[in-house]
Amino acid sequence: MFAAIPLDLDDPQQASAWLALLDHYARDPMGGGSGLSDYARRHLVGRLRQLPGFHAALAMAGDEAVGLINCFAGFSTFAARPLLNIHDIVVHSAWRGRAIAQVLLDWAARRAGELGCCKLTLEVLANNEKALAAYARAGFAPYVLDPQAGHALFLQKILMEDAS
């Protein structure tokens, strides 16, 4: 059985397990394939401790952290209510296929409800079929306002390269 527990970045064991899982994801082709930069490894925990809109959980198998979910508070102007964006969801490759993602997504839905959010959002790579299937099982669907206008796309513009 797996459980999702809120992440406590002030707990050195949780912070270390969380950072290792995030680096594991960053080394996966779906996470970019190169791992976290030295800069990110040195600064990420401290920066996130200071960010009030950061909400995260670890998926636990007993005492072992096997997954994580990172979320950030946002706002829906159309609904005039907060939303919660799932920025990262990670299941260690040795633990995949055991519905751990569903445990993490359920945690995020409960947290969003506690925050009074109108919705959960996330982005996913178009060819990540396993993730797309997990998200569909959890009730996620492409964002569409008008079917003739198509579904929303997630775009980026790099403003600053990662400093090492």
Residue 162 belongs to a domain? no
Note the pLDDT tens digit of each residue in 31-89.
999 999 999 999 999 999 999 999 999 999 999 999 999 999 999 999 999 999 999 99
What number is the average pLDDT over the span 89-97?
97
Residue 71 near residue 88, CB atoms below 8 Å? no
- Angle, vertex CA 97, rays to CA 96 and CA 98, nearest 5: 95
User: For position 93, which CATH number holds?
Assistant: 3.40.630.30
* pTM listed for this prediction: 0.94
Q: Which among 56, 48, 132, 113 is positioned nearest to 87, based on CA atoms? A: 56
Task: List beta partners, residue 82.
Answer: 75
What pLDDT is attached to residue 164?
58
The token pair at 50 is: 């200071």
pLDDT, averaged across the chain = 96
Q: Which among 123, 155, 129, 156 is positioned nearest to 142, based on CA atoms? A: 123
Q: In which band, very low, low, confident or very high, does the pLDDT at 160 lie, cut at 50, 70 and 90?
A: confident
Note the pLDDT tens digit of each residue in 133-143.
999 999 999 99
Q: In which band, very low, low, confident or very high, does the pLDDT at 163 lie, cut at 50, 70 and 90?
A: low
Q: Give the span between the Cα atoms of 142 and 151, in whole angstroms.
A: 6
Residue 157 belongs to a domain? no
Cβ neighbours of residue 145 under 8 Å, at least 6 residues apart? none
Range of the domain at 24: 3-149
Residue 160 belongs to a domain? no
